């Protein structure tokens, strides 16, 4: 019985230490979430405005006025606006670099596997992956998928300069003809408890289908000065960077929210286990004391 009580005591101590760790991790993730959530929401307003401008320029057929050509700059509008037959697609997939984020990564990876199966019947020659995050990179490598570009060590609260080299590398691959269209996939932060997988086309720029009368009017009012190429050379790179940076901010917000939820669940489970073990310990201790009292009373009676 004494050994059993000691084992229970060890389990209680071990669980208490685990609970302290998960509680601290919950607080750290909560601080990161609080810091990035406001920035992400504010940036989405800017990104949406840039998207609206590009949408209206597309409706106004401004892109058709840009002459074709090749330059060394991968962010050149001539390179970005190249349209070609789609032989191979690329998917920018954002996952976390670390675990302890609940179902955050599994939701993304499951959705990607569904896309590969439904659109390409898992024909790996028809698509490639641009993996941002350690978890996704290891997952796709273990299954033999083609990874055109990988990046690990994404900042917990990214800045615009963090994504510039990523965007340039991806566009260089696009310019070189490694793939003909790009999609960006990540978890969209809905609230602290809910995130939703989202897929957005990055390139090429297609004419929108759901057009309102107001948008047609806005598109017709654009004045191109000094010329379409100069105007688009300023706007289109901002459009690409805004989508990628906005997606990364959104994904990181969802990641921190998932970490908070996972660590809170782990902490609550630790507290429940400690309560259960403490009850078990007290009952075992009470039974031991009762046995000892019975033995003492029995011994005293035998002496009489």
What is the per-residue pLDDT across 175-206, written as a single tens digit (0 to 9) for each? 888 888 899 999 988 887 888 899 988 888 76
Cβ–Cβ under 8 Å, residues 148 and 129: yes
* Of 275, 267, 281, residue with least CA distance to 9: 281
Q: What is the pLDDT of residue 212?
A: 63
Q: What is the pLDDT of residue 112?
A: 93
Q: Where are the domains of the chain?
A: 24-262
Cα–Cα distance for residue pair 72/70, rounded to 1 Å: 7
In the chain, where does DSSP find H-type helix? 2-59, 77-80, 104-120, 134-142, 160-175, 213-220, 228-303
Cα–Cα distance for residue pair 126/285, rounded to 1 Å: 66
Predicted model pTM: 0.80
Q: What is the pLDDT of residue 109?
A: 93
Mean pLDDT over 3-16 rounds to: 83
At residue 6, does pLDDT exceed 80?
A: yes
The tens digit of pLDDT for each residue in 117-142 reads 999 898 888 999 999 989 999 999 99
At residue 62, does pLDDT exceed 60?
A: yes
Contacts with 82 (C-beta within 8 Å, 6 or more apart), sequence order: 68, 175, 204
Half-sphere exposure (CA, 13 Å, Cβ side) for 183?
17
* Of 101, 95, 135, residue with least CA distance to 266: 101
At residue 157, does pLDDT exceed 80?
A: yes
Cβ–Cβ under 8 Å, residues 36 and 252: yes
Q: Which CATH architecture has domain 24-262?
A: 3-Layer(aba) Sandwich (3.40)
At residue 47, does pLDDT exceed 60?
A: yes
At residue 71, does pLDDT exceed 60?
A: no
- List the 89-94 sheet strands across, edge first: 147-151, 127-132, 89-94, 181-189, 195-203
At residue 26, does pLDDT exceed 60?
A: yes
Contacts with 195 (C-beta within 8 Å, 6 or more apart), sequence order: 104, 107, 187, 188, 189, 254, 257, 258
Mean pLDDT over 95-102 rounds to: 87
At residue 89, does pLDDT exceed 70?
A: yes
Cα–Cα distance for residue pair 51/57, rounded to 1 Å: 10
Phi/psi at 194 (nearest 5 deg)? -130, 135
At residue 1, does pLDDT exceed 50?
A: no
The tens digit of pLDDT for each residue in 263-289 reads 988 888 988 988 888 888 888 888 778
pLDDT band (50, 70, 90) for residue 93: very high
Per the structure block, which two tokens stand in for 297?
A: 């009373």
Q: What is the pLDDT of residue 78?
A: 57
The tens digit of pLDDT for each residue in 213-245 reads 665 666 566 666 666 677 777 777 778 888 888
Q: What is the pLDDT of residue 130?
A: 93
H/E stretch holding 130: strand 127-132
Q: What is the pLDDT of residue 91?
A: 94
């Amino acid at each position: 019985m004494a050994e059993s009580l000691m084992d229970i005591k060890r389990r209680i101590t071990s669980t208490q230490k685990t609970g302290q760790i998960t509680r601290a991790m919950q607080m750290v993730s909560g601080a990161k979430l609080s810091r990035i959530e406001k920035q992400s929401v504010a940036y989405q307003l800017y990104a949406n405005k840039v998207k609206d401008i590009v949408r209206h320029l597309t409706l106004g057929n401004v892109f058709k006025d840009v002459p074709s050509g090749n330059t060394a700059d991968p962010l050149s509008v001539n390179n970005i606006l190249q349209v070609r037959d789609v032989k191979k697609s690329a998917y920018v997939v954002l996952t976390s670099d670390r675990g302890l984020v609940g179902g955050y990564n599994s939701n993304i990876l499951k959705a990607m596997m569904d896309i590969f199966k439904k659109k390409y019947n898992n024909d790996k020659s028809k698509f490639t992956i641009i993996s941002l995050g350690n978890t996704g990179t290891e997952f796709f490598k273990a299954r033999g998928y083609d990874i055109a570009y990988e990046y690990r060590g994404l900042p917990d609260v990214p800045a615009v300069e963090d994504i510039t080299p990523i965007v340039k590398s991806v566009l260089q691959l696009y310019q070189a003809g490694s793939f003909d269209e790009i999609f960006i996939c990540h978890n969209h932060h809905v609230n602290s408890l809910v995130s939703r997988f989202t897929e957005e086309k990055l390139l090429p720029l297609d004419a929108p289908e759901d057009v309102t009368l107001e948008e047609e009017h806005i598109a017709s009012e654009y004045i191109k000065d000094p010329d379409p190429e100069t105007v688009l050379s300023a706007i289109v790179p901002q459009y690409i960077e805004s989508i990628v940076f906005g997606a990364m901010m959104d994904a990181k917000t969802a990641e921190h929210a998932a970490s908070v939820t996972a660590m809170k669940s782990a902490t609550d489970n630790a507290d429940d286990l400690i309560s259960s073990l403490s009850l078990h310990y007290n009952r075992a201790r009470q039974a031991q004391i009762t046995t000892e009292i019975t033995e003492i009373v029995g011994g005293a009676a035998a002496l009489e």
